[in-house]
Amino acid sequence: MVLRIRPSMIGLSSYVAGRKVPGAALLAGNECPYGLLPAVAAWLARAAPAAFRYPDMACGTLVQALAAQHGVTAEQIAVGAGSTEVCGQLLHTVVDPGDEVIFGWRSFEAYPLLTAVAGGVAVPVPLHGDTLDLDAMLASVTSRTRLIFVCNPNNPTGTAVGADNLQRFLAAVSDDILVVLDEAYREYAEPALVTDASDLIGKRPNVVVLRTFSKAYALAGLRVGYCLGAAALIRQVRKAQIPFSVGTLAQDAAVAALGEAAEVTRRVRLTVAERDRVTARLRGFGYDVPQSQANFVWLPLGPDSKGFADECLAGGVVIRPFPDEGVRVTVGLPEENDLFLELAEKLR
């Protein structure tokens, strides 16, 4: 007898993580290049001895701090080991086998994986150029649709849909469908292009806003993310969290990071300035680069994508190719960006 594997798993592609090549500029993971926030580093050193105990399963201190930050109640927040885990929790909360999950494509590669793991049917909707096609996503809704991911700004293309477009979209979606606004990169976007989460979830109980500590808060290695939503929904979403998935140090570090707002803002400004410098230089070389609202840029190189990424790797810069579509390049330190720009100029 042969072990039976679910057919929906066999057909899935695995998540491709950014490679860690010693000595190279690592511009494939959309991480913050400036290292741990100073208060976080100090706190981790002090907090380490507590790690022999199980963490606070409810993440009480962190949830309180987030509630204060967003002007919501603790009952409106669910946490997970990165917002990737929270995506899974949301799917497990609303998707039964065979139910449909809509997302733009290409977008965050965890969406199709987590959808299949949850037993759902992925409905990828092609982008319009480099931007989510909200109208086409609406047109893809059927009686089986249970959840729609809206990645804004979109990974890997970096583009954002404006607030007006988003509001029109949300007004048109039936309120028995969960809309997940994934705002992993919201700190890097023009404020007019992202939501006021607390206002939004107060008005629309079928909408949740997903946030992470992995990008602007420089905590990708500790795994903390969360969503904001209506209390009745959040109560169910919390049941789908893997018990104790957010470790003690991760919780403490996230609380410490929330206290470093000024430093986070300073770093975000540096990254946005570098992003716009890199974009302008690349356009100057003749590359087509959509306006990014995130901490990375997208070069739609089509069939040249893999070769371009291989050449960059040989030149000491790790970027993320999506074969036959494009490459995504994280905005790093100025000297890392310069190294990438040198290679990009040569490869033109």
Which of 76, 212, 248, 293 is close enough to bind ligand PLP by CB under 6 A? 212
With CB under 6 A, what is the number of residues at the site for ligand PLP? Answer: 14
Residue 151 beta carbon to ligand PLP: minimum distance, rounded to whole angstroms: 5
Q: Pattern of binders to ligand PLP over 154-183, x per CB under 6 A?
A: -x--------------------------x-
Cis amide linkage into residue 156, ω under 30° from 0 = yes
Residue 157 beta carbon to ligand PLP: minimum distance, rounded to whole angstroms: 11
Looking at residue 96, what DSSP letter applies?
P
Q: How many CB atoms lie within 10 A of CB 147?
A: 25
Using CB positions, name the residue nearest to ligand PLP: 82
Indicate the residue among 83 and 292 with the shorter CB distance to ligand PLP.
83
Residue 150 beta carbon to ligand PLP: minimum distance, rounded to whole angstroms: 10
Indicate the residue among 55 and 82 with the shorter CB distance to ligand PLP.
82
Residue 68 beta carbon to ligand PLP: minimum distance, rounded to whole angstroms: 21
Which of 84, 93, 159, 305 is close enough to bind ligand PLP by CB under 6 A? 84
Binding piece for ligand PLP, criterion CB under 6 A, among 76-84, 98-106, 125-133, 247-255: 76-84
- Residue burial 76-95, b: 16+ Cβ < 10 Å; e: rest: bbbbbbbbbbbbbbbbbbbb
Which of 55, 78, 83, 114 is close enough to bind ligand PLP by CB under 6 A? 83
Indicate the residue among 18 and 259 with the shorter CB distance to ligand PLP.
18
CA 37/CA 200 separation, integer angstroms: 30
Indicate the residue among 155 and 293 with the shorter CB distance to ligand PLP.
155
- Residue burial 264-281, b: 16+ Cβ < 10 Å; e: rest: beebbebbbebbeebbeb
Nearest to 211 by CA among 198, 202, 29, 203: 198
Indicate the residue among 43 and 111 with the shorter CB distance to ligand PLP.
111
Residue 102 beta carbon to ligand PLP: minimum distance, rounded to whole angstroms: 15
Strand partners, 181: 150, 209
CA 275/CA 295 separation, integer angstroms: 7
Residues in the chain: 348
Which of 108, 169, 188, 308 is close enough to bind ligand PLP by CB under 6 A? 108
Indicate the residue among 83 and 241 with the shorter CB distance to ligand PLP.
83
Cβ neighbours for 304, distance < 8 A, ≥ 6 positions apart: none
Calculate the alpha carbon distances from 152 to 100, 165, 343 in Å: 20, 12, 29
Q: Does 89 bind ligand PLP (CB under 6 A)?
A: no
User: Hey, which residues between 125 and 154 contact ligand PLP (CB under 6 A)?
Assistant: 151
User: How is 28-39 classified by DSSP, letter by letter?
Assistant: SS---TT-S-HH
Q: Does 82 bind ligand PLP (CB under 6 A)?
A: yes
Q: Please calculate the CA angle 64-254-69 and round it to the nearest 5 degrees.
A: 40
Indicate the residue among 296 and 343 with the shorter CB distance to ligand PLP.
296
User: Hey, which residues between 217 and 276 contact ligand PLP (CB under 6 A)?
Assistant: 220, 225
The burial of 25, by beta-carbon neighbours within 10 Å (0-12 exposed, 13-18 middle, 19 or more buried), is given as buried
Query: Are the C-beta atoms of 299 and 278 separated by less than 8 Å?
Result: no
Q: Does 184 bind ligand PLP (CB under 6 A)?
A: yes
Contact residues for ligand PLP, defined by CB under 6 A: 30, 82-84, 108, 151, 155, 182, 184, 212, 214-215, 220, 225
